[in-house]
A and B are shown apart, each in its own frame.
Chain A
Amino acid sequence: MDFWTEIPSLGRNDLRDLKKGIDASFRSFSRAYGPEIEAFFDPLYFFLVRLEKLLIAAPWPIILVVVGALAYLGSRSWKLALGSVLSFIIIGYFGMWKDMMATISLISVATVICIAIGIPIGILMSRYDRMQAAITPILDLMQTIPIFVYLLPVVMLLGIGRVPGLIAVIVYALPPIIRLTNLGIRLVDKEILEAADAFGSDYRQKLFSVQIPLALPNIFAGVNQTIMMALAMVVIASMIGVKGLGMPVLQSIQNQYLTLGLMNGLAIVALAIIFDRVSQRYGKRLQAHRYGKEHE
């Protein structure tokens, strides 16, 4: 064998044994601890199913009123509120109401969890440079690793269904909120922080009355990105048994149902646009002070 033409490699047998060994130990791990891990995620399942059932069971006019009200409260725009209600009616009219409710409950739960995990991690990263150095590569990994690669171990541990789908969505959608929280806090004007110090603020006072409020535009951009990425995962999550608008899209790919795919795809797009516009408007309103009429 010529050294220059062939890269040194593990022998075929060794390689197979290595893969087998790892696979086997992971399998025995998942067999041994699978139930415990599943139990650990039970609250998520409970939360998700409850919300989904609630949304599906609720009379449709009430949902429409709530959607309209939330859209208006978030954006203070009648146009946007009306548009949202109209989109929901159309989606329902074309028979996608239940799937839409399932998707909304998945996105909502995923977003809430991402915020609950992401913002504290982002704050820690902004406070300690070491934390930032340690977490940044993990975030890079989460965003670039092919989704199927981490879908597989999740499925092996938890089987298929809603919870593994939810976890897959969270893994994919979590990085932006962490990154933008960290960035937003780090970008707060040094002079303002100095002023806060000069008046004797402690860390908590500085964090809650200066850093977070001034980082809100960025944090909110992170929330927006997280919602968008969660929606983007809906179709892939349906591969491991998550119900919702993604499922029919998957079916249409497998069976070449053009119209079914198009309709559900457009419904996802409509949801994305509604979430995006409402959350962006809300983010802008949070920083009204920046848009105060500038003094000449």
Chain B
Amino acid sequence: MAKNMSKVKLEIKNLYKIFGVKDTSFVSKIRDGMSKQELLDKHNHVLGLNNINLSIPEQKVQVIMGLSGSGKSTLIRHVNRLIEPTSGELYVDGENVLEMSQSQLREFRRKSTSMVFQKFALLPHKTVSQNVAYGLTIQGVKEKLAKEQSHRWIDRVGLGGFEERYPAQLSGGMQQRVGLARALATDAPILLMDEAFSALDPLIRTDMQNILLELQEELHKTILFITHDLDEALRIGDNIAILRDGKVIQEGDPQEIIMNPADAYIKDFIKDINRSRVVELRSIINKKVKGSGPGLKLNMSVEDALPILNASKTKSFAVVDDKNKILGSVNLNSAIKALSRADESKVAERYK
């Protein structure tokens, strides 16, 4: 599925992070196969990240997923060096972030990245307007201009009229809108979102996801999105990397991960998702048969396709791309198959 491969914006190479006093001395041991547990038990050092390699394309949403303690928040903090790595390389637009001096790094943080935090991290003593303008103020933008800009972004996230309120006067969802507006206001091309919506309740979370997707359609940021919620990852991500014990265990197209989970851990991870809603026709397409009828789009979900397929149960329906070119076909049979979880042995066990 090598669609239009865009330029790599952010490249992470052989990144290791070990927490402890003698961190650098253990990198080679980890490389030679020492386990996280052994490092902790015998040497009292914590393995944060283990040989991370990721290429994040420009203008795409890269989701990093994992349970708590998997190292995802540690990873995202390496991108703007809120955490220094133990070893490895990190390039943004080909420039090595790890070699930047303190002042270059500040400039990089001001202009190239911005961040949204799980617990919002707004400045409680500043108004919504001042909070959103914060990044601009730091850059030395004139107050009037910064205020104009901030009001524009406050409107964009739907908080018009709340400019002069303090964060404590807003609900969680509204506070995170402020957080998002603050991050967008600096116009940085890379947006780092650290479990940005995890602290919100489900309805508001969906709201925020919609806002983000809507904005992304227009802004085309390179987004690194951390989450522990698979539904959110599937909804937002162009690409997903799953992290466990500081290691990437599977990375790629979300469809690919669902259809071909790399190991038992990931299988377990994806077992509760609503497959009919998530699996798209492109994952079950039969390229050998052209099919007929009004073409179904590649990115249509199985759930949406089922009623159509059910109308004539044996027919192969054509599947088309954006330009209505027929790429293959699907039928009811293949759609139903896609809904079952691959692990048949466990099913048998359950009904013994």
Q: Does A1 contact B (CB under 8 A)?
A: no
Contact B123 A194 (CB under 8 A): no
Contact B138 A289 (CB under 8 A): no
Contact A192 B135 (CB under 8 A): no
Which of B30-38, B63-71, B166-174, B321-329 lies at the interface?
B166-174
Closest CB in chain A relative to B97 CB, distance in Å: 13
**Least CB separation from B174: chain A residue:** A295
B109 cross-chain contacts in A, Cβ below 8 A: 197-200
Q: Which of A194, A205, A214, A296 contacts B117 (CB 8 A)?
A: A194
Contact A198 B125 (CB under 8 A): no
Contact B82 A289 (CB under 8 A): no
Contact A198 B113 (CB under 8 A): yes
Q: Does B176 contact A (CB under 8 A)?
A: no
Contact A200 B121 (CB under 8 A): no
In the bound complex, what is the Cα–Cα distance between A192 and B114 (angstroms)? 14
Q: Does A202 contact B (CB under 8 A)?
A: yes
B117 cross-chain contacts in A, Cβ below 8 A: 191, 194-195
Contact A293 B82 (CB under 8 A): no
Q: Does A59 contact B (CB under 8 A)?
A: no
In the bound complex, what is the Cα–Cα distance between A150 and B79 (angstroms)? 55
B110 cross-chain contacts in A, Cβ below 8 A: 199-200
A213 cross-chain contacts in B, Cβ below 8 A: 125
Contact B123 A192 (CB under 8 A): yes
Binary interface encoding of chain B residues 152-173 relative to chain A, with 1 for a CB under 8 A from any of its CBs, else 0? 0000000000000111111100
Binary interface encoding of chain A residues 194-215 relative to chain B, with 1 for a CB under 8 A from any of its CBs, else 0? 1111111110010001100110
Contact A198 B80 (CB under 8 A): yes
In the bound complex, what is the Cα–Cα distance between A162 and B125 (angstroms)? 41
The dominant DSSP class at the A interface is: helix
Chain A, range 263-277, C-beta contacts under 8 Å to B: none
Q: Does B287 contact A (CB under 8 A)?
A: no
In the bound complex, what is the Cα–Cα distance between A112 and B82 (angstroms)? 38
Q: Does A8 contact B (CB under 8 A)?
A: no
Q: Does B124 contact A (CB under 8 A)?
A: yes
**Which bracket fits the contact residues of B?**
35 or more
Q: Does A140 contact B (CB under 8 A)?
A: no
Chain B, range 105-158, C-beta contacts under 8 Å to A: 106-111, 113-115, 117, 119, 121-126, 134-135, 137-139
A19 cross-chain contacts in B, Cβ below 8 A: none
Closest CB in chain B relative to A293 CB, distance in Å: 6
Q: Does A290 contact B (CB under 8 A)?
A: yes
Chain B, range 156-202, C-beta contacts under 8 Å to A: 165-171, 174, 182, 186, 192
A202 cross-chain contacts in B, Cβ below 8 A: 106
Binary interface encoding of chain A residues 103-124 relative to chain B, with 1 for a CB under 8 A from any of its CBs, else 0? 0000000000000000000000
Contact A195 B115 (CB under 8 A): yes
Known: A289-B168, A294-B169. A214 touches B124 (CB 8 A): yes
B106 cross-chain contacts in A, Cβ below 8 A: 200-202
Q: Does A256 contact B (CB under 8 A)?
A: no
Known: A191-B117, A195-B115. A292 touches B82 (CB 8 A): no
**Least CB separation from B109: chain A residue:** A200
In the bound complex, what is the Cα–Cα distance between A98 and B82 (angstroms)? 59
Contact B82 A197 (CB under 8 A): yes
**Least CB separation from A201: chain B residue:** B138
**Least CB separation from A286: chain B residue:** B125
**Least CB separation from A194: chain B residue:** B82
**Least CB separation from B118: chain A residue:** A191
In the bound complex, what is the Cα–Cα distance between A259 and B124 (angstroms)? 51
Known: A195-B117, A198-B82, A200-B110. A295 touches B134 (CB 8 A): no
B125 cross-chain contacts in A, Cβ below 8 A: 213-214, 287, 289
Chain B, range 283-299, C-beta contacts under 8 Å to A: none
Contact A194 B121 (CB under 8 A): yes
In the bound complex, what is the Cα–Cα distance between A172 and B94 (angstroms)? 59
Contact A199 B186 (CB under 8 A): yes
In the bound complex, what is the Cα–Cα distance between A198 and B192 (angstroms)? 10
Contact A195 B169 (CB under 8 A): no
Contact B114 A198 (CB under 8 A): yes
Contact A195 B121 (CB under 8 A): yes
**Least CB separation from B111: chain A residue:** A200
Closest CB in chain B relative to A26 CB, distance in Å: 46
A194 cross-chain contacts in B, Cβ below 8 A: 82, 117, 121
Binary interface encoding of chain A residues 127-157 relative to chain B, with 1 for a CB under 8 A from any of its CBs, else 0? 0000000000000000000000000000000
In the bound complex, what is the Cα–Cα distance between A194 and B179 (angstroms)? 13
7 contacts between A and B (CB under 8 A): A195-B117, A200-B106, A202-B106, A209-B137, A290-B124, A292-B168, A295-B174
Which B positions have Cβ atoms within 8 angstroms of A? 80, 82, 106-111, 113-115, 117, 119, 121-126, 134-135, 137-139, 165-171, 174, 182, 186, 192
Closest 8 CB pairs of A and B: A200-B110, A200-B109, A195-B121, A289-B166, A198-B115, A292-B169, A191-B121, A199-B135
